[in-house]
Structure 1
């Protein structure tokens, strides 16, 4: 059980990171923005929880950014932004500053504070906090243009109020031969999100043909998610057994769920 009835988990992950250069001229040095830490868990007092996002400019030019929040959820195949629900944290989430300049080599911090109302009752509330560069980077030369594209970086925020817990179950395994992968469908019937790591082995007639580890993947509270298993070897048509263990953590305590499920690869 949780040591505190309320706690905050902030999971950071880059939702997009790319640069697009058009034309033949040399692109100007683009600022590079790093975000940390990856996960923060804090106990809340009287319904309030706090966390800090650290932003660092490892590039050679100043970076002006704005900070804003959006509701989100996860579907079977990934994140879905703007999905409003009763679990929307944005009305209860404050952060400061909302816009800042980060000089080369400088580190700045953004403070998050969530204040959940007692009338909300027990449950999990979530939002994604974006850091978005505002600097304009087009460079015009005679007949040519260079454009630097620097998409936003998202921080997913989960605030849990009360004694809420995940409850995972493996539902099915479906071969996707065109992708060379297996979709392991995991459901979460609980009222708290989990991020299981998957240790797996694929066998046929008692012989293991592939094995590996799938990194932690978010399975949202009350939802399900395809965990994409990618065997490194080519598989011939037939029926295999996908077995292994899901491992996740609840309030610092390790939870595991073994599974063994058939999966069939059909002939093309």
Structure 2
């Protein structure tokens, strides 16, 4: 395990998002936490949220220890339309609006087709991976239009392009495939307003959720690494650096694109 879990480029201070306001969901752990910390370190005013109030509070403590300030609305259940609107108003109240939206929050259940429960696994996964993006984009759209544009960053998955043998990821594949398609449509609708919409498709990334699975099933880790050209597990910071580019003015002519940050897993 130790040989394949290596550090990514750590969070570093800079000014690539100076003057921007970024809303980042799911800041309590994983990719959402890494994006929130990196964006704040790179000059953005960050507004975060998480359904897990304790985890969000831990992220705020980490930020303070690093001399960073992050506003957070928690607990916040973004599968509820009213909560999505509340987060948008929270950001508007704090900063007058925002320029960047990072849809990192998600929930997915994993089970084989014949064992999957429709309501608690299939429907809940589609809500937690697809509806959650739709609801916040819909709530945020008027603010981005008022700001004269901005950047929306969604998260699809390598599972939207390839199936990993031994992984019971049917609902997850469907949800992330939907995010991939929805991102292209949103980019078309946002283009006239200066709103750029892109997605990032990670392969296996080490988070609190995946770490337990990798330890419980070493064969799964071996299969995942077997698909990759770079033989290590991704870290949340690997993904955050790509998100930083897409949030910045450096990506001003980039929209409707998907960025596979996957160690080469989907290249063959």
Shorter-chain TM-score: which interval?
under 0.3
TM-score, normalisation: structure 1: 0.23
Which protein has greater RCO, CA pairs closer than 8 Å, 6+ apart?
Answer: 2
Between Structure 1 and Structure 2, which shows a larger proportion of strand residues? 1
Larger-Rg structure: 1
